[in-house]
């Protein structure tokens, strides 16, 4: 499926691929396209056994500014924003509720 998508886009002036599925922040360029992976806004999966490390495990958001011939990308974290690990939170909640 991915190969088919790459073939479909090969004749396009693709400059940006934006994604946010993996709960990790990543920013890299392949060919002429910049790939931006937005982090989760809610939680991280700290354990590399639960989720392979392929980016930066932190919460935040991505701000895009588009111009006719360019774009800017900023990775943003709110002041005092904390990286909450989903599984640590679940374990702590289970310990409190018995």
pLDDT given for residue 67 in this prediction = 96
Per-residue pLDDT of 21-79, as tens digits, reads: 888 999 999 988 999 999 999 999 999 999 999 999 999 999 999 999 999 999 999 89
pLDDT given for residue 3 in this prediction = 84
Spatial CB neighbours of 13, under 8 Å, sequence gap ≥ 6: 32
Instruction: Please tell me the pTM assigned to this model.
Output: 0.81
60: left (phi over 0), alpha (psi -120 to 50) or beta: left
Residue 70: beta bridge partners?
67
Q: Are 77 and 58 in contact (CB under 8 A)?
A: yes
Residue 65: beta bridge partners?
72
């Amino acid at each position: 499926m991915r190969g088919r998508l790459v073939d479909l886009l090969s004749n396009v002036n693709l400059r940006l691929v934006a994604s946010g599925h993996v709960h990790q922040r990543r920013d890299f360029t392949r060919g002429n396209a910049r790939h931006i992976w937005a982090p989760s806004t809610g939680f991280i999966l700290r354990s590399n056994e639960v989720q392979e490390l392929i980016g930066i495990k932190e919460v935040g958001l991505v701000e895009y500014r588009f111009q006719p011939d360019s774009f800017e990308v900023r990775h943003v974290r709110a002041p005092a924003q904390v990286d909450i690990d989903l599984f640590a939170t679940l374990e702590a909640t289970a310990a409190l509720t018995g």
